[in-house]
Amino acid sequence: MTDVKAEEPFDPTTVPVKPAATVLLIRDADDGGIEVFMLRRTFSAAFASGMFVFPGGKVDDIDGMEDIAEICDGLTDAHASALLGLPSGGLAYWVACIRECFEEAGVLLARHETTGEVVRFDAPEVIERFNTERHNIHDGSIALLDLCAQEGLRLTTDDIHYVSHWITPIGEKRRFDTRFFIARAPAAQEPLHDDGETIESFWIKPEEAIRRSHEKDLMLMPPTKVNIEFLLPHKTTDEVMAAAAKLGRPQTILPKIKIDSDGRVTGIAMPGDSDYDAL
């Protein structure tokens, strides 16, 4: 989770904490149980290089545009902000996780405004068109709001649940105030990494992800691992979504970095650990 290097001193109190949103895409597995979609970050990434993560990223100003609230189904900014414990601007986190999911994984969490049906990428020309728009949104040549207007779409913010809140520890060179969400993967959309910020992608059962993490075969940051553990008791997507909808406002988790007498990072302390308060 840490990218701190002792030979590159900096003032940790000056590092800005940027808002971010991440989404766990889940689906029912063909052989029973559930699967979650994961990406591997490029080894050249400034933060969490080579780690296995969920689609997500920073909340941009454009995610909070007033007009975009008009195409968000079942969720107002006031309601979203209350769920997140914010005075305003909460809806931007849902929009950001939808935008980032489309940019990083090619999955668009939206439905047609005329039929109410979730978007399907099941025809070659549709796949090609939306893949082009995926890259256009990433490079800023088109906004998500404009794409929805162009295609007659609404965002499925009513079927995306807020489940976790983590803040990067003080001492990191890059810090994020990250909200984690859970959403159903659309049946007729096949996610795929972008070969830019992410270099690998796959579906994996939560049990296998945790096992591989313990075996050091799947490198997970603490927030990623804990959110996967949330999925473990549930056997179907419906069960997960029902549990997520009942969570209420999750506790904010702020890990702390452990440093030895030589200034070297030795680990992470979590709330509840015996040494957490002393750090």
Q: What is the mean pLDDT of residues 80-103?
A: 97
Tokens of 67: 């007009």
In terms of phi and psi (left: phi > 0; alpha: psi -120 to 50; beta: otherwise), the region of 74 is left
Q: Is the pLDDT of residue 7 over 60?
A: no
Distances (CA, A) of 22 to 49, 112, 162, 176, 183: 16, 24, 10, 11, 10
Q: Is the pLDDT of residue 40 over 60?
A: yes
Strand-strand pairing, 265-269 and 34-41: unpaired
Which sequence spans correspond to the domains of the chain? 12-252
For 111, phi and psi rounded to 5 degrees?
-130, 155
240-276 pLDDT per residue, tens:
999 999 998 999 999 998 888 887 888 888 888 888 8
The pLDDT of residue 267: 84
SS3 270: coil
Confidence class of residue 149 from pLDDT cuts 50, 70 and 90? very high
- The CATH number of 12-252 is 3.90.79.10
In this structure, of 41-45, 71-75, 141-145, 223-227, the range with the lowest mean pLDDT score is 41-45
8-state DSSP, 87: S
SS3 275: coil
Task: Tally Cβ neighbours within 10 Å of residue 180.
Answer: 25
The closest alpha carbon to 221, from 8, 77, 39, belongs to 39
122-137 pLDDT per residue, tens:
999 999 999 999 999 9
For 91, phi and psi rounded to 5 degrees?
-60, -30
Whole-prediction pTM value? 0.90
The closest alpha carbon to 209, from 200, 223, 220, 201, belongs to 220
d(C-alpha 187, C-alpha 26), whole Å: 11
The closest alpha carbon to 104, from 140, 128, 148, 135, belongs to 135
The pLDDT of residue 1: 47
Q: With pLDDT > 90 as the criterion, what percentage of the chain qualifies?
A: 74
Concatenating the DSSP letter of every residue in 128-181 gives: HHHHHHHHHHHHTSS-HHHHHHHHTEEE-GGGEEEEEEEEPPBTBSSEEEEEEE
The pLDDT of residue 6: 47
The pLDDT of residue 241: 98
